[in-house]
Structure 1
Amino acid sequence: MTLRAVITGTGSALPVRRVDNEEMARLVDTSDDWIRERTGIRSRYFAGEGETTSTLATAAARKAIEAAGIDASSIDLIVLGTTTPDQTFPATATTVQAALGCNGGMAFDVQAVCSGFLYALGVADSMIRSGMASKALVIGAETMSRLLDFDDRGTCVLFGDGAGAVVLEGRESDDPDAPGILATKLHADGAHNELLFVDGGASTTGTVGKLRMTGNQVFKHAVNNLADVLREVLEISGRQASDIDWVVPHQANSRIIEGTAKKLGLPMDRVIMTVDQHANTSAASVPLALDAAVRDGRIVPGQLIVLEAMGGGFTWGASLVRM
C-alpha cells in the first residue's frame, strides 16, 4: 500500500478593504488602463488595522478545516509559507496553532516568497509520507502591502494581501489514480537576488525594507522556469500535458500565466485565473486560486491539477495533484 498526502479541504481569506485600480490611481501616477493592459489586475486587498498575516492565515485555515470535516485538535503539523511574518520570531505558524487550539504538534514557517506555498506543500507531503505527521495544515499567507513603496508605481500596483490553506491527510491506496500529491519538484537559483528582493533585513539594515523588482527580467525567467518545472512533474509522474484538467498558477501577472500556458500548449480555459481580483498575493496566491476554483465547482474530486509558482530568490516549483 502506498501512503499519499491527500488534499481534503481548502480555504481562503481576504482583508476587508478592497482597493481597485481607480483608487490606486489616486495614490500613485498610474491608471486603470495602464495596470490592466500590463498585468490583468483590476483590484487587490490591503490589510487594515487588526489584520495581520496570522489573522488571515487563521481565517483561511478554519475554512479548510471545516471543508475537510475534521477537528482542529487532530492536526499535528502546520507549515506556513510567508515572507511577511507577524514577528521576526516566533514563527507565525505557532501563532496560528495557538489560535486554532491544536498545540503540541509541529508548527513552522517556510520562506520562499511567491513559491512559499509550493515549498510548504512539498515539506508537508514528505513528512506525511515518512510517517512524521498524519494531518497537516499547509498555508500561504501574506500582507505584502506592508512591504510596498507607494512611490514606485511599477511595483506597488502589483501586490495584495490574503491567505489560502489546505488540509492534507495521509491515506493508503494501491490505486495509481487514487487522490493525493503525485509529484513535486522544487528549485532555487540565488544568482538572481538583485532582480526581486526587499532592501532590508534584521541582520543587514535592522529594518523591514521595501520591495524592489526588475519586472522585465523577472517575466522572462518566470515563463521559462515555470514551463520547465511543469514538464518535470509530468515526466516524474508519467503523465502528459493533455492529462491535466486544470493548472492553478501563481497569480502574478496575466501575461506570465498566458505565456506559460502557451509554451506548454495548454488552452487558457484549463487555467485558473484570479489575478484580476486579488493581484499578486505572493505565497497566498496559489491556495487562494485553488480554493476559489474548488468552491465554484470548477475543480472537483478525481481531477488532475498542477500547482505552480515562482518567486524571489529565485525559487520556483510545481506539484501534480489528484483531487
Structure 2
Amino acid sequence: MKYAKIISSGMYVPQRIMTNAEFEKLTMFTIDPYFSETIGINHRHVSEDWETPTYMAAEAAKKALERIGMKPEEIDLVIVGTDTPESISPPDAARVQYLIGAHKAEAMAFNVNASCANGALLVDIAARYIALGDYRNVLVIGTYAMTKFLSWKYSWEALFSDGAGALILTASDEPGYIGSVARADGSWWQNWGIYMGAGTMNLQGFERGLHKLDLRAAYPATVNEEGWPLLINKLLDKYNLTKDDIGMILFTQVRKKTIEKVMETLGLPLEKTHMVMHKYGYTGSACVYMAYDDAFDEGKIEKIKGKVLIFLTSGVGFQQVATAFRII
C-alpha cells in the first residue's frame, strides 16, 4: 500500500484590487470597520475577463510544478474543485490539463463540486487514488471566480475574491495522508448559491437573477463555530491522535473571528493556524491551498515537520470535510 504526501504548492491571484473603501463607494454600503476587524478582509482581488477559472487554475498549477522542477508530463491525474466553473460542461479540469501540458501524458482529469468544502475533499480523493496505486502524482486545484457572479449591490458581496491554489501529492512509503471525516446537511440547500441550472435556464430564470449569487438566508455562525470543533475531535478520535499532534489547522478563510473562537474552543494557540483573508479576501475552493502556499513561503510548514496538518473546509449545501496529513 502506498501513502500520499504533499510535495508542492502554488497560487494565482488577480492583480486588480478593490479596497473596502472602493466597495463602499460602488455599492453605497458601509462595511467597515466590521469587514476589516471581524471578517478580516480589507480588500478583494477581482479577476478580469481574460482571467477565467481555468486560466487561474493553470497558472497556480504551473507555479506548483515550477517550485519542485516537475514536468507536466509527470502528472497522472488533475482534479479541479470549483463552484464557479468556466462552463457547466465540459469540465474545467480537461482544459487545465491541456493548458499546463499534462495532456501529452494523457493525464486523467475531472471536476469536483462540494462548493467551498472542496479544499479538504480534493486532497482526500487524491490520497485515496494514490493509496490504491492507480496514480503516482496527483495535482489538485481549487479555483474561484465568484466576483463574476456578483450583482455588486449587496453589502455581503464584499466577502468575495478571486484566485486559485494548487497542491501536488505524490506516492510515499510513509504517511503522509492519515484520513478524513466529513458531514453534510442538505436541509440548508436553499440558503445560498447560484441557482441557475437545468429547469431554470430560460428567460424567467435570468429575470429572477438565478445566474447571480443569491443569499436567501444566512447560515448561523454556529455552523462552523460548533461544526469545526466537532469534526476536529472526531478526526482525532478516529485516528488515535491528540491535540499535541496538531502542527497546523487550515480553515476555510471565511471569517477571522470564527477561526479565533474555534481555536480557543479547541484549546489551541493561534500560532497553530494560518489566515490569509487579509491578503487575498475569501477565495472559496482555493482558500486553504492559498493559505498552505502562503504558510510555506513564510517557513511555517517546514517548522511543523513530523506534526499533523489538517485541512478543514465548509461549503454551502452544506458540506464540511476535515482531512489530515502528517508533514514528512
> For the superposition of Structure 1 and Structure 2, which TM-score range results when normalised by the shorter chain?
over 0.9
1:73 aligns with 2:73: yes
RMSD over aligned Cα atoms: 1.6
Could you state the TM-score of these two structures normalised by the residue count of structure 2? 0.92
On the 8 A contact 2:119/2:311 being kept in 1, the answer is no
On the 8 A contact 2:144/2:285 being kept in 1, the answer is yes
Q: How does 1:1-323 map to 2 (within 5 A)?
A: 2-28=1-27, 29-103=29-103, 104-153=106-155, 155-173=156-174, 178=175, 180-206=176-202, 209-213=211-215, 217-300=219-302, 301-323=305-327
Name whichever of 243-252 and 32-41 sits farther off.
32-41
Question: Which whole-Å deviations, capped at 9, do the CAs of 1:21-75 have from their partners, x for residues lacking one?
Answer: 1111111212431322331111110101210111111111011112233211011
- Deviation of 1:289 (Å): 0.4
Could you state the TM-score of these two structures normalised by the residue count of structure 1? 0.93
Name whichever of 312-321 and 232-241 sits farther off.
232-241
Q: Distance in 2 between matches of 1:171 and 1:229?
A: 26
Q: Distance in 1 between matches of 2:220 and 2:141?
A: 25
On the 8 A contact 1:13/1:60 being kept in 2, the answer is yes
- Deviation of 1:171 (Å): 1.3
On the 8 A contact 1:68/1:167 being kept in 2, the answer is no
- Deviation of 1:108 (Å): 0.5
Q: Which runs of 5+ in 2 are unaligned?
A: none
On the 8 A contact 1:141/1:162 being kept in 2, the answer is yes
On the 8 A contact 2:245/2:307 being kept in 1, the answer is no
Percent pairwise identity: 29
On the 8 A contact 1:10/1:68 being kept in 2, the answer is no
SS at match of 1:194: coil
- Deviation of 1:217 (Å): 2.9
On the 8 A contact 2:44/2:161 being kept in 1, the answer is yes
- Deviation of 1:166 (Å): 0.5
Q: Distance in 2 between matches of 1:317 and 1:258?
A: 19
- Deviation of 1:215 (Å): 6.9
- Deviation of 1:203 (Å): 3.5
SS at match of 1:35: helix
The one-letter amino acid paired with 1:196 is W
Question: Which whole-Å deviations, capped at 9, do the CAs of 1:114-172 have from their partners, x for residues lacking one?
Answer: 1112221111111111111111001111101012231111x210110011000010112
The one-letter amino acid paired with 2:325 is V
The one-letter amino acid paired with 2:36 is R
